[in-house]
Protein backbone atom coordinates (compact mmCIF):
# COMPACT_ATOMS: atom_id res chain seq x y z
CA UNK A 1 0.00 0.00 0.00
CA UNK A 2 1.23 3.49 -0.88
CA UNK A 3 1.89 6.06 1.84
CA UNK A 4 -0.13 9.24 1.38
CA UNK A 5 1.12 12.53 2.82
CA UNK A 6 -1.25 15.50 3.16
CA UNK A 7 0.70 18.52 1.93
CA UNK A 8 -1.53 21.43 2.81
CA UNK A 9 -3.68 23.11 5.43
CA UNK A 10 -7.35 23.99 5.13
CA UNK A 11 -7.78 27.59 3.97
CA UNK A 12 -10.12 29.72 6.08
CA UNK A 13 -10.45 33.36 7.12
CA UNK A 14 -7.78 32.84 9.82
CA UNK A 15 -5.15 31.43 7.42
CA UNK A 16 -1.86 33.29 7.94
CA UNK A 17 -0.74 35.21 4.85
CA UNK A 18 2.69 36.17 3.62
CA UNK A 19 4.03 39.33 5.23
CA UNK A 20 1.18 39.40 7.74
CA UNK A 21 -1.37 40.50 5.11
CA UNK A 22 -5.01 40.33 6.21
CA UNK A 23 -6.81 40.44 2.85
CA UNK A 24 -8.34 36.96 2.84
CA UNK A 25 -12.10 36.61 2.86
CA UNK A 26 -14.30 33.56 2.38
CA UNK A 27 -18.03 34.29 2.24
CA UNK A 28 -20.92 31.88 1.78
CA UNK A 29 -22.94 33.26 -1.19
CA UNK A 30 -25.44 30.42 -1.62
CA UNK A 31 -26.42 27.61 0.71
CA UNK A 32 -28.63 24.57 0.27
CA UNK A 33 -29.62 25.01 3.92
CA UNK A 34 -31.16 28.34 2.87
CA UNK A 35 -33.02 26.77 -0.06
CA UNK A 36 -30.46 27.46 -2.77
CA UNK A 37 -29.80 24.76 -5.38
CA UNK A 38 -26.12 24.48 -4.43
CA UNK A 39 -23.45 25.75 -2.04
CA UNK A 40 -21.26 28.57 -3.39
CA UNK A 41 -18.51 30.48 -1.63
CA UNK A 42 -16.85 33.69 -2.73
CA UNK A 43 -13.07 33.53 -2.25
CA UNK A 44 -10.77 36.54 -2.01
CA UNK A 45 -7.14 35.66 -1.47
CA UNK A 46 -3.62 36.40 -2.67
CA UNK A 47 -1.42 34.04 -4.66
CA UNK A 48 0.63 33.46 -1.49
CA UNK A 49 -2.29 31.92 0.39
CA UNK A 50 -1.74 28.47 1.84
CA UNK A 51 0.52 25.78 0.46
CA UNK A 52 1.39 26.60 -3.13
CA UNK A 53 4.00 26.32 -5.83
CA UNK A 54 5.84 29.48 -6.77
CA UNK A 55 6.51 29.52 -10.50
CA UNK A 56 9.81 31.07 -11.61
CA UNK A 57 7.82 34.08 -12.89
CA UNK A 58 7.20 35.10 -9.28
CA UNK A 59 10.84 36.19 -8.99
CA UNK A 60 12.02 36.35 -12.63
CA UNK A 61 10.46 38.76 -15.13
CA UNK A 62 10.95 36.26 -17.97
CA UNK A 63 10.36 33.16 -15.84
CA UNK A 64 7.81 30.46 -16.57
CA UNK A 65 4.27 30.79 -15.22
CA UNK A 66 2.19 27.83 -14.03
CA UNK A 67 0.39 27.79 -17.39
CA UNK A 68 3.74 27.08 -19.09
CA UNK A 69 3.91 23.63 -17.50
CA UNK A 70 2.16 20.58 -18.90
CA UNK A 71 -0.01 18.89 -16.22
CA UNK A 72 2.05 15.71 -16.53
CA UNK A 73 5.13 17.61 -15.34
CA UNK A 74 3.61 17.38 -11.82
CA UNK A 75 3.41 13.58 -11.75
CA UNK A 76 6.27 11.85 -9.95
CA UNK A 77 6.95 8.14 -9.55
CA UNK A 78 9.76 8.15 -6.99
CA UNK A 79 9.23 10.97 -4.47
CA UNK A 80 11.33 11.25 -1.35
CA UNK A 81 10.44 13.10 1.83
CA UNK A 82 13.25 14.92 3.62
CA UNK A 83 12.60 15.58 7.31
CA UNK A 84 14.74 18.51 8.42
CA UNK A 85 13.79 20.60 11.45
CA UNK A 86 14.48 24.33 11.12
CA UNK A 87 14.05 27.34 13.34
CA UNK A 88 12.69 30.80 12.42
CA UNK A 89 14.94 32.58 9.94
CA UNK A 90 17.22 29.57 9.47
CA UNK A 91 18.79 29.33 6.01
CA UNK A 92 18.31 26.01 4.26
CA UNK A 93 21.32 25.46 2.04
CA UNK A 94 22.07 22.90 -0.63
CA UNK A 95 24.91 21.58 1.53
CA UNK A 96 22.45 21.18 4.40
CA UNK A 97 20.31 18.72 2.43
CA UNK A 98 22.96 17.35 0.06
CA UNK A 99 23.29 14.08 2.00
CA UNK A 100 19.59 13.35 1.37
CA UNK A 101 19.86 14.11 -2.33
CA UNK A 102 22.98 12.01 -2.93
CA UNK A 103 21.53 9.09 -0.99
CA UNK A 104 18.91 8.31 -3.63
CA UNK A 105 19.72 8.91 -7.30
CA UNK A 106 16.39 7.39 -8.45
CA UNK A 107 14.26 10.03 -6.73
CA UNK A 108 12.45 12.32 -9.16
CA UNK A 109 11.26 14.91 -6.58
CA UNK A 110 12.30 15.82 -3.06
CA UNK A 111 9.77 17.25 -0.62
CA UNK A 112 10.98 18.93 2.56
CA UNK A 113 9.08 18.76 5.82
CA UNK A 114 10.63 21.35 8.10
CA UNK A 115 8.19 21.30 10.98
CA UNK A 116 7.70 25.04 10.54
CA UNK A 117 3.92 24.61 10.57
CA UNK A 118 4.22 24.60 14.36
CA UNK A 119 4.51 28.41 14.01
CA UNK A 120 1.29 28.88 11.96
CA UNK A 121 -0.39 30.91 14.73
CA UNK A 122 2.77 32.90 15.48
CA UNK A 123 4.32 35.99 13.84
CA UNK A 124 7.38 33.85 13.05
CA UNK A 125 5.37 31.93 10.48
CA UNK A 126 5.09 34.82 8.01
CA UNK A 127 7.97 37.00 9.13
CA UNK A 128 10.77 34.47 9.63
CA UNK A 129 9.97 31.65 7.25
CA UNK A 130 12.68 29.35 6.01
CA UNK A 131 14.89 30.75 3.29
CA UNK A 132 16.22 28.72 0.39
CA UNK A 133 19.28 29.57 -1.65
CA UNK A 134 17.97 31.56 -4.63
CA UNK A 135 20.53 30.03 -7.02
CA UNK A 136 19.16 26.52 -6.65
CA UNK A 137 16.79 26.03 -9.57
CA UNK A 138 14.12 23.36 -9.62
CA UNK A 139 12.63 24.22 -13.03
H-helix or E-strand containing 98?
helix 94-102
* pLDDT given for residue 127 in this prediction: 62
Distance, CA of 52 to CA of 73 (rounded, Å): 16
* pLDDT given for residue 58 in this prediction: 82
Q: What is the mean pLDDT of each run of 10 residues along the chain (139 residues)?
A: 73 81 90 97 86 80 91 86 81 78 77 80 64 44
pTM above threshold 0.85? no
> Would strands 131-132 and 25-30 be described as parallel, antiparallel, or unpaired?
unpaired
Amino acid sequence: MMDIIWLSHVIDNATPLYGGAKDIAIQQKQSQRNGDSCNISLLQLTSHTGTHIDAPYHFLADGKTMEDYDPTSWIYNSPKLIDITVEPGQLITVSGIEEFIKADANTDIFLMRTGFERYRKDQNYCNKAQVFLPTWHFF
